[in-house]
Chains A and B, each alone.
Chain A
Amino acid sequence: MNTEPSTAFLGPVESLGRASLDIVGSLGRFGLFLAQAVAWTFIPPFKFRQLLERVHFIGFRSLSIIILTGAFTGMVLGLQVFLTLVRFGSEAFLGPAVALSLIRELGPVLAALMVTGRAGSALTAEIGIMRITEQIDALTVMALNPVRYLIVPVIVAGFITFPLMTAIFDVVGIFGGYLVGVKLLGLSEGTYFGEMRTFVDMADIMTGFWKSLSFGVIVTWVCTYKGYYTGHGAEGVSRATTQAVVLSSVLILVWDYFLGSVLP
């Protein structure tokens, strides 16, 4: 009798508290998930065959999309930057402009976004379906650790493949810019590559390298986490896949800004 008005009054406060606890709880689960995966990475035996399959899936089968998007990114950069620079009569700096923007920003970010769309969503769906069809529980019953068996190979594969794919993206993009700037718009070849050599430092390449390493971990971490803790039924898997792609993309862009302001 006495509790009636108080619940009506405290209802919103209660739901706010519940929502906050949910957020904190899922953040903690999210962090613990990565900690668990890192811990199991260094405990033998290591599932080498699984890792190879994941590298094949994330890396080799993304090659075509990486090369395609890299080439067109470089070409459009070459075109637009040329049109801007020619107004100031400094089209000699096309090479460094294309190379620096690719190596420092566009290469790591765009490669990571493309791979998120191509491989990340598939990973979430695969692990999510294993979860709702109770295959993950079956692994546990068979005394196979699901984290070691499913998650660790994916995250290690992301760690290995992302820097390599970013490097491929950069090189293809630089040659795409070369195609437009030198072959189409008539800049001299020596100027394009020579100026690039004087302006690009090892520090720029390392910035891109650290970015791509961290993106590799972020994308595989988010995508496996969302699949591992998927909701119920087909709808749960579809929601998990959408969330994984959106969260990965947002985290890539946010983390890119932070790394860009911290790294030289």
Chain B
Amino acid sequence: MRRSALDLGVGIFVIIGILALSWLSVKLGRVEFLGGHGYQVTADFPSVGGLKPGSTVEIAGVEIGRVESISLADYQARVHMWIRSDVKLQEDSIASIKTKGLIGEKYVRINPGGSDRLIPPNGRIREVEAPVDFEELLSKYIFGKV
């Protein structure tokens, strides 16, 4: 009896602890168990200005994937994105880097296109739009159009 109460206590403690740990890593740390269902696409931007791995990819404000990694290819920033498998991207979709609010996080927004042809897994989004450079915009506003 004494022994089983001890085992029960340890069991309860370990279960609660592991539940808490997994809640943290799955809900907040975005660890995907079993890889998740999705595919990869890439896009080359002239500049990523503040985009980071883990930033969201959105269509119409709805999260459809994440930025996996960013590398340099041919002096351009190549962004590898992971997209949910139930979202299909048309070949003429436009990827742009936007900012949430005035000083918020950077994220990738995709404007869906009208083409019948879809981007295959590991394909590339050709149409891109660079992020707005706020400093440049501000200086243009202050010092007039140069």
A binds B: yes
**A103, B24: Cβ atoms closer than 8 Å:** yes
Closest chain B residue, CB of each to CB of A169:
B20
A245 to chain B, nearest CB (A): 23
- Knowing A164-B21, A201-B29, A201-B54, say if A56 contacts B16 (CB, 8 Å): no
Is there a chain B Cβ closer than 8 Å to A171's Cβ? yes
Q: Do B6 and A56 have beta carbons less than 8 Å apart?
A: yes
Contact string against A for B residues 16-28, beta-carbon threshold 8 Å, 1 for contact and 0 otherwise: 1110110111011
Closest Cβ–Cβ distance, residue B99 to chain A (whole Å): 13
A168 to B10, Cβ gap below 8 A? no
**Which single member of A52, A163, A165, A202 contacts B30 (CB below 8 Å)?**
A202
**Residues on A with beta carbons closer than 8 Å to the beta carbon of B24:** 103, 167, 170-171, 205
Q: Is A53 an interface residue (CB 8 A)?
A: yes
- The answer to the question of B56 belonging to the interface, with a C-beta cut-off of 8 Å to chain A, is yes
Expressed in whole angstroms, the Cα–Cα distance for A202 and B30 within the complex equals 7
* Interfacial chain A residues near B17, Cβ < 8 Å: 59, 161, 163-165, 167-168
Q: Which of B10, B20, B25, B28 contacts A52 (CB 8 A)?
A: B10
The A159-215 residues at the B interface (CB cut-off 8 A) are 161, 163-165, 167-168, 170-172, 193, 196-202, 204-205
Docked CA distance A203–B23 (Å): 15
Interface membership of B12, Cβ < 8 A: yes
Check: B144 CB closer than 8 A to any chain A CB.
no
Q: Which residues B82-137 have CB closer than 8 A to chain A?
A: 105
Question: In the complex the two chains form, is A52's CB within 8 Å of B13's CB?
Answer: no
Give chain B nearest CB distance to A250 CB in angstroms: 26
* Chain A: interface size category: 20 to 34
Q: What number of B residues sit within 8 Å (CB to CB) of A?
A: 24
Nearest CB of chain A from residue B101's CB, rounded to whole Å: 8
**Chain A residues positioned under 8 Å from B23 (CB to CB):** 171
In the complex, which residues of chain A have a beta carbon less than 8 angstroms from the beta carbon of B6? 52-53, 56
Asked if residues B14 and A164 are in contact (CB atoms below 8 Å), the reply is yes
A28 to chain B, nearest CB (A): 35
Judge whether B10 and A55 touch: CB under 8 Å.
Answer: yes
B-chain residues with CB within 8 Å of residue A65 when the two chains form the complex: none
C-alpha spacing A199/B14, complex, angstroms:
28
Contact A52 B29 (CB under 8 A): no
Chain A residue at minimum C-beta to C-beta distance from B25: A205
CB of A72 closer than 8 Å to a CB of B: no
* Nearest chain B CB to A73 CB, angstrom units: 15
A168 to B6, CA, bound (A): 20
A53 to B6, CA, bound (A): 7
Q: Contact string, A46-72, partner B, CB cutoff 8 A, digits 1/0? A: 000000110110011101000000000
Does residue A99 face the partner (Cβ distance < 8 Å to B)?
yes
Instruction: Assess whether B21 is in contact with A197, with CB atoms less than 8 Å apart.
Output: no
What residues of B have a CB within 8 angstroms of the CB of A172 in the complex?
A: 20
Contact A167 B20 (CB under 8 A): yes
Cross-chain contact of A60 among B13, B20, B21 (Cβ < 8 A): B13
B20-A56 in contact (CB<8A): no
Q: Are B13 and A56 in contact, CB atoms less than 8 angstroms apart?
A: yes
24 contacts between A and B (CB under 8 A): A52-B7, A56-B6, A56-B10, A59-B14, A60-B9, A60-B12, A61-B9, A63-B16, A103-B24, A163-B17, A163-B21, A164-B13, A164-B14, A167-B17, A171-B20, A172-B20, A193-B27, A198-B55, A198-B56, A198-B105, A199-B105, A200-B28, A205-B24, A205-B29
| Additional A-B contact list (5), CB under 8 Å, known A61-B9, A201-B30 | A53-B6, A59-B10, A164-B13, A171-B20, A202-B30
